């Protein structure tokens, strides 16, 4: 089965308004749909007779060996899709050696999740909703529970409406069980500046990943502020109708920040070739977001594990066809990817 087939299955099982909650994105949703389509705008040139039996997917997340460059992206409110919710995702990550990023909006208790984590470790994602002190407290709790890095999401404080979700209202906060503590009330994320983030990073003793970079200059600012890694993301197209393809930005950001900076990319990845394309362009890790929901809907944690296994299996096949024996060498194969001048010829595919 493919991730797209599991997506179709999930769509058929959810109420229309809940499905719209999943796929609803900023304004008309073009950016969300472009996330999916952008992969057909790049072509691959396979290389043969490289003598590769099984390409190695082993990667490194902030010093910890992980099974593959895949990462579970942070998604909250997951108990509305399956009673296991975020725990199912953590179990799937444990079982597949995948690094798991737990959302600040997790419904399942952080203590429980931390006990479930496997050798690939887990990270905690925070929004900057509150004062630096409160944010630091939230981070401290996660660090004490074993989070090996902190993902700071910085892209969401000016969120455009989704026209699709305006039509079909769905309040995710009211559905599903919760055994995690409630979040603090205040939501002051708009006041945050690069300077405030820099101060926060200096105060903490844990690697910080800045998630939600879409502008090359912001990647430099993040690095200068002390971030260990940069996460390119348009938040699944949910914040602003940018019409931008982040896949097209990877090479430019990589050139700007140099080969040593860790770069995570998310948005629209569904197949092995999708993932391989981003890696060849210079991404270090690929995060899967909505596909985790599709897996949960299908079969709880086992469904999520199935999603991760499919992605890893397909990725290995594409890497093999490209003559890449170790995923860490992907950036050296830049001559095997190119932007298509006639990409639009793929419309409808």
Asked whether position 273 contacts a copy of itself by CB under 8 A, the answer is yes
Nearest CA to 213 out of 233, 235, 241 is that of 233
Asked whether position 291 contacts a copy of itself by CB under 8 A, the answer is no
# residues near a copy of itself by CB under 8 A: 87
CB 282 within 8 Å of CB 263:
yes
CB 78 within 8 Å of CB 107:
yes
Q: Is 44 helix (H, G, I), strand (E, B) or coil?
A: strand
Non-local (6+) Cβ contacts of 62 within 8 A are 148, 149, 207, 228, 229, 262
Report how far residue 119's alpha carbon sits from residue 101's, in angstroms, rounded to the nearest whole number. Answer: 14
To the nearest whole angstrom, how small is the minimum distance from the Cβ of residue 345 to a copy of itself? 5
Asked whether position 303 contacts a copy of itself by CB under 8 A, the answer is no
To the nearest whole angstrom, how small is the minimum distance from the Cβ of residue 117 to a copy of itself? 29
To the nearest whole angstrom, how small is the minimum distance from the Cβ of residue 158 to a copy of itself? 3
Q: Using CB atoms within 10 A of its CB, is residue 179 exposed (0-12), middle (13-18) or buried (19+)?
A: middle
E strand or H helix at 257, and its extent? helix 247-257
In degrees to the nearest 10, what's the CA dihedral of 275, 279, 285, 291? -10
Asked whether position 325 contacts a copy of itself by CB under 8 A, the answer is no
Q: What's the chain's length in residues?
A: 349
Asked whether position 89 contacts a copy of itself by CB under 8 A, the answer is no
The interface with a copy of itself within residues 305-324 (CB under 8 A) comprises 314, 316-322
Nearest CA to 231 out of 169, 307, 284, 304 is that of 284
To the nearest whole angstrom, how small is the minimum distance from the Cβ of residue 76 to a copy of itself? 20
| CB of 255 or CB of 345, closer to a copy of itself | 345
Asked whether position 136 contacts a copy of itself by CB under 8 A, the answer is no
Residue 188 corresponds to which tokens in the numbers above? Answer: 């002051």
To the nearest whole angstrom, how small is the minimum distance from the Cβ of residue 149 to a copy of itself? 19
The interface with a copy of itself within residues 22-81 (CB under 8 A) comprises 26-30, 33-34, 37-54
To the nearest whole angstrom, how small is the minimum distance from the Cβ of residue 349 to a copy of itself? 4
CB 77 within 8 Å of CB 102:
no
| CB of 173 or CB of 248, closer to a copy of itself | 248
Asked whether position 1 contacts a copy of itself by CB under 8 A, the answer is yes
To the nearest whole angstrom, how small is the minimum distance from the Cβ of residue 296 to a copy of itself? 21
The contact mask relative to a copy of itself for 196-215 (x = CB under 8 A, - = no) is xx--------------xxxx
Asked whether position 169 contacts a copy of itself by CB under 8 A, the answer is no
Given 20, 86, 91, 218, the residue binding a copy of itself (CB under 8 A):
218
Instruction: State residue 189 phi and psi, 5-degree precision.
Output: -65, -20
């Amino acid at each position: 089965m493919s991730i797209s087939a599991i997506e179709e299955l999930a769509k058929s099982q959810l109420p229309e308004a809940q499905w719209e909650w999943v796929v609803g994105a900023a304004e008309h949703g073009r950016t969300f749909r472009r996330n999916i389509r952008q992969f057909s705008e790049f072509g691959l040139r396979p290389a043969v007779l490289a003598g590769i039996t099984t390409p190695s997917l082993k990667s490194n997340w902030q010093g910890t060996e992980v099974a593959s460059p895949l990462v579970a992206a942070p998604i909250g409110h997951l108990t509305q899709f399956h009673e296991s919710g975020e725990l199912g995702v953590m179990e799937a990550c444990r079982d597949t050696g995948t690094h798991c990023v737990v959302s600040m909006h997790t419904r399942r208790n952080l203590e429980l999740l931390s006990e479930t984590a496997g050798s690939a470790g887990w990270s905690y994602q925070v929004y900057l909703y509150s004062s630096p002190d409160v944010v630091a407290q939230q981070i401290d709790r996660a660090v004490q529970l074993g989070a090996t890095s902190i993902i700071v999401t910085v892209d969401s404080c000016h969120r455009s409406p989704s026209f699709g979700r305006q039509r079909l209202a769905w309040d995710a906060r009211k559905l599903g069980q919760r055994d995690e503590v409630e979040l603090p009330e205040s939501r002051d994320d708009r006041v945050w500046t690069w300077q405030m983030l820099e101060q926060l990073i200096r105060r903490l003793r844990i690697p910080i990943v800045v998630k939600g970079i879409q502008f090359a200059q912001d990647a430099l600012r993040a690095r200068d502020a002390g971030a260990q890694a940069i996460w390119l993301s348009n938040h699944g197209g949910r914040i602003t109708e940018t019409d931008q393809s982040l896949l097209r930005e990877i090479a430019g950001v990589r050139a700007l920040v140099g080969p040593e900076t860790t770069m995570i990319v998310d948005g629209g990845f569904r197949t092995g070739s999708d993932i391989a394309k981003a890696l060849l362009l210079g991404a270090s890790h690929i995060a899967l977001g909505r596909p985790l929901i599709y897996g949960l809907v299908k079969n709880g944690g086992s469904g999520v594990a199935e999603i991760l296994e499919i992605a890893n299996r397909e990725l290995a096949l594409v890497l093999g066809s490209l003559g890449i024996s170790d995923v860490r060498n992907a950036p050296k194969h830049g001559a095997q990817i190119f932007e298509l001048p006639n990409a639009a010829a793929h419309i409808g595919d």
